Chains A and B, each alone.
Chain A
Amino acid sequence: MDALEILFTASFWVAAIRIASPLIFATMGELICERAGVLNLGIEGIMTAGAFAGWFTVYSGGDLWAGLLVAALVGAMFGLLHATLTVPLGLSQHVVGIGVTLLATSLTYYIYRLALPEVTSPPKIEPFQPLPIPGLSSIPVVGEALFTQTPLTYLAFVSVAAVAWILYRTPVGLAVRAAGENPSAVEAQGISVTGIRMGAVVVGSALMAVGGAFLTTSAFNSFFFQMINGRGWICIALVVFGSWRPGKALIGAILFAAFDAYQVRLQQISGGIVPYQVFLMMPYALSILALILVARRAAYPKALMIPYQKGER
Chain B
Amino acid sequence: MPGEDYASPTATILCLDGKQSRSPATPLPVTDVSSNLALRLSRISKHFGPLRANEAISFDLMRGEVIALLGENGAGKTTLMNILFGHYVADEGTVETFGKPLPPGDPRAALDAGIGMVHQHFTLADNMTVQENITLGTQSLWRMRLDRAAARRRIEQLSADFGLAVDPAATVSTLSVGERQRVEILKALYREARILILDEPTAVLTPAETDALFRTLKLLVAQGLSIIFISHKLHEVMAVSDRVLVLRSGQLVGERETGSTDRKELAALMVGQEVKPAEVSPVKLGAPLLVLERVSTPPYNGAGLDNVSLTLTAGEITGLAGVAGNGQAVLAALIAGIRRPTNGSISIAGREVADWSPRTALAHGVGRIPEDRHAIGSIGDMSVTENVIAERYRSPRFSRMGFLNWKAAGRFAEKLIADYDVKCPSPEARIRLLSGGNMQKLILGRALDPDPAIILASQPTRGLDVGAVAYVHRMLLEARGRGAAILLISEDLEEVLALSDRIIVMSKGRLSTPSSRGERSIRELGELMAGHSGEHSDHAA
A residues apposed to B, CB below 8 Å: 169-172, 174-175, 177-178, 181-182, 184-191, 299, 301-302, 310-311, 313
Contacts and interface: CB of A to CB of B under 8 A. Distances in A.
Contacts of B108: 190-191
B187 A170 contact: no
A170 B146 contact: yes
Contacts of B110: 190
Interface in B345-385: none
B282 interface: no
B133 A185 contact: yes
B375 to A, nearest CB: 16
Contacts of A302: 126-127
Given A175-B137, A188-B119, 17 more contacts: A170-B144, A170-B145, A171-B136, A171-B137, A171-B138, A174-B135, A178-B133, A181-B127, A188-B187, A189-B187, A190-B107, A190-B111, A190-B112, A191-B108, A191-B137, A310-B87, A311-B87
B143 A185 contact: no
B142 A311 contact: no
Per DSSP, chain A at the interface is helix
B87 A189 contact: no
7 contacts: A171-B140, A174-B136, A178-B132, A178-B133, A187-B123, A189-B107, A313-B433
Nearest to B89: A311
User: In terms of DSSP, what is the predominant structure of the interface of chain B?
Assistant: loop
A189 B136 contact: yes
A281 B123 CA distance: 45
In the complex, which of the residues A171, A175, A182, A301 has the most CB atoms of chain B within 10 Å of its own CB atom?
A171
B239 interface: no
Contacts, number: 91
Nearest to A184: B123
Contact of A171 (B85, B126, B146): B146
Interface residues on B, range: 35 or more
A182 B432 CA distance: 18
B143 A311 contact: no
A302 B123 CA distance: 13
Contacts of A170: 143-146
B342 to A, nearest CB: 29
The 4 closest A-B pairs by CB, nearest first: A189-B137, A190-B108, A181-B125, A188-B123
A185 B85 CA distance: 13
Contact of B127 (A169, A190, A299): A299
Contact of A177 (B89, B107, B128, B187): B128
Nearest to A181: B125
A178 B125 contact: yes
Contacts of A184: 119, 121, 123
Given A189-B187, A190-B108, A182 B137 contact: no
Contacts of A188: 85, 107, 117, 119, 123, 187
A169 B141 CA distance: 11
Interface string B74-115: 000000001001011100000000000000010111111000
Nearest to B173: A299
A47 to B, nearest CB: 28
A182 B143 contact: no
A284 B146 CA distance: 39
Contact of A191 (B85, B132, B136, B146): B136
B498 interface: no
